[in-house]
Amino acid sequence: MKVKVYKNYQELSIDAAKEIINQVRTNPKSIIGFATGSSPVGLYKEMISDYKINHTSYKDIKTFNLDEYFGIDKTHPQSYYQFMMNNLFSHIDVNPENINIPSGVVTDINVECDAYNKKLSQNIIDIQILGVGGNGHIGFNEPGTSFDSVTHHVKLDEKTRKDNARFFNSIDEVPKYAITMGIKNILSTRKIILIATGINKSDAVYHMVKGDVTPVWPATALQMHDDVTIYVDEEAASKL
């Protein structure tokens, strides 16, 4: 596991974006795994600015998102579908047909999970972008999730709901459930870059890098992957 510590979020984002841009320039048919949340927003801004200046094309990539809230439609302003559209996809030339995001409104959740797992098994992700929860979750794999998990329906931790309430009018509006790629899916990707900033992430970063590998801190599973780079600021790195 490589750890890169930055003083400045923009520099961190520029370096993380270079990994994606180089990957896509080397292989225009790359498969990229995307995350939502605040952590990768700077990386997405850098990809957009590179797209405008250098015209790196995303028209042949395939994308897979980690997760989606359950019970809200993709048109909901806080759906992860809208997040990806607003923060990245509508600003670059990605082909809408190549975008994969789990659906939060389905008649049969098991059918949706099985279909997502099937697609993932046919499409090995070249680079997976991750954030980490203050409680160590990756995707929405909350503490206690098996490392053998594949795409599944989850009940969100109260801490996660509180952390994400900032995006909603009140905590009551934050969905209680989500659909997420499992830890096994995440570990099956070729390369992982994880971004974490702020003191709120320092415990999770400590366990992820130095702690015992345990489902109590889901991000410790990343110690079992052989190509993980963690982009952190000084606050997130402060307990290392």
- Which residue in the list 67, 68, 112, 233 is annotated as catalytic? 67
Q: Is 173 a catalytic residue?
A: no
Smaller CB separation from ligand F6R, 23 or 33 = 33
Residues 6+ apart with CB under 8 A from 158: none
Rounded least distance, CB 167 to ligand F6R, Å:
8
Structure tokens at 181: 């790629």
Rounded least distance, CB 69 to ligand F6R, Å:
10
Question: Mind giving me the DSSP string for the chain?
Answer: -EEEEES-HHHHHHHHHHHHHHHHHH-TT-EEEE--SSTTHHHHHHHHHHHHHH----TT-EEEESEEESSS-TTSTTSHHHHHHHHTGGGS---GGGEE---SS-S-HHHHHHHHHHHHHHS--SEEEE---TT--BTTB-TT--TT--SEEEEPPHHHHHHHGGGSSSGGGS-SEEEE--HHHHHTSSEEEEEE-SGGGHHHHHHHHHS---TTSGGGGGGGSS-EEEEEETTTTTT-
Rounded least distance, CB 139 to ligand F6R, Å:
4
CA 55 to chain centre: 24
Q: Is 135 a catalytic residue?
A: yes
Smaller CB separation from ligand F6R, 59 or 73 = 73
- Which residue in the list 65, 87, 135, 141 is annotated as catalytic? 135
Place of tokens 């905590």: 171
Smaller CB separation from ligand F6R, 21 or 132 = 132
Rounded least distance, CB 146 to ligand F6R, Å:
17
- Site of interaction with ligand F6R (CB under 6 A): 35-39, 66-67, 131-133, 137-140
Smaller CB separation from ligand F6R, 57 or 211 = 211
- Which residue in the list 68, 87, 137, 141 is annotated as catalytic? 137
- Which residue in the list 50, 68, 142, 163 is annotated as catalytic? 142
Q: Is 55 a catalytic residue?
A: no
Rounded least distance, CB 131 to ligand F6R, Å:
2
How many angstroms separate the CA atoms of 1 and 225, rounded? Answer: 8
Q: Is 67 a catalytic residue?
A: yes
Smaller CB separation from ligand F6R, 13 or 39 = 39
Catalytic residues: 67, 135, 137, 142
